[in-house]
Amino acid sequence: MKRVIIVMFVAIMAGCTTTITTRMINQSLTNTIEKQKLMDTIGFVLMDNGFDIKMANESFGIINTEWRAIKSGADTALTVFSAFLDSSMTKYSRDLMMQINLTETGYKLSPKLRRKSKSSGFYGGSTEEIEYPTQESPEGKLAMKIVEEINDKLGIGNDYIWEEKVITIGEEDY
């Protein structure tokens, strides 16, 4: 019986697909800016906005930040509300990180939002979800602010474009 259940589970999961919507800000540069100056400016602006640099590689043109806690009244309300629903306490939190890639024609900034919940009590456990915030979200607005500050320090206009790409994982091509 166990084998039948396992085989059914594997068969069901084999047919599943997952879609992920990635979002990023694409900033084109019309003037040639030295790579080192661009990396330094981006790094300084990120640090001015409370992000610690986790990794910066000038050869590959990549800057990644550490996750930064985002305080939200909604997270606090969910945490308090969960205490009234059952005897366990679930803590909700959100973290934000920025990933920057230099391109041949400019740079791309991808904000990533990590939502976490951690329960205590008998059914204790934790979950974590990663998503790409929308342009209208507070995290998306912070990303736009950072791009605008970078552009201001570089002396260029704010002609950035939000890009959205849907990726499907697990889909088989026949």
What's the confidence (pLDDT) of residue 152?
96
Q: Which residues of the chain have pLDDT under 50?
A: 1-11, 75, 78, 83, 173-174
| Segments making up each domain of the chain, as ranges | 23-169
All residues at 6 or more sequence positions from 21 whose CB lies less than 8 Å from its CB, including other chains: 131, 132, 164, 165, 166, 167
| 23-169 topology per CATH | TATA-Binding Protein (3.30.310)
Q: Dump pLDDT digits (tens) for 71-122.
A: 765 545 545 555 455 555 667 788 999 999 999 899 999 999 998 887 776 5
Question: Distance between CA 27 and CA 22 in Å, rounded?
Answer: 16
Q: Which amino acid is at 146?
A: I
Helix (H) or strand (E) holding 58: none
What's the confidence (pLDDT) of residue 32?
84
| CA-closest candidate to residue 113, choices 98, 91, 92 | 98
What's the confidence (pLDDT) of residue 84?
52
- The three-state secondary structure class of 147 is helix
What's the confidence (pLDDT) of residue 6?
45
Residue 30 contacts residue 166 (beta carbons within 8 Å) = no
What's the confidence (pLDDT) of residue 123?
61
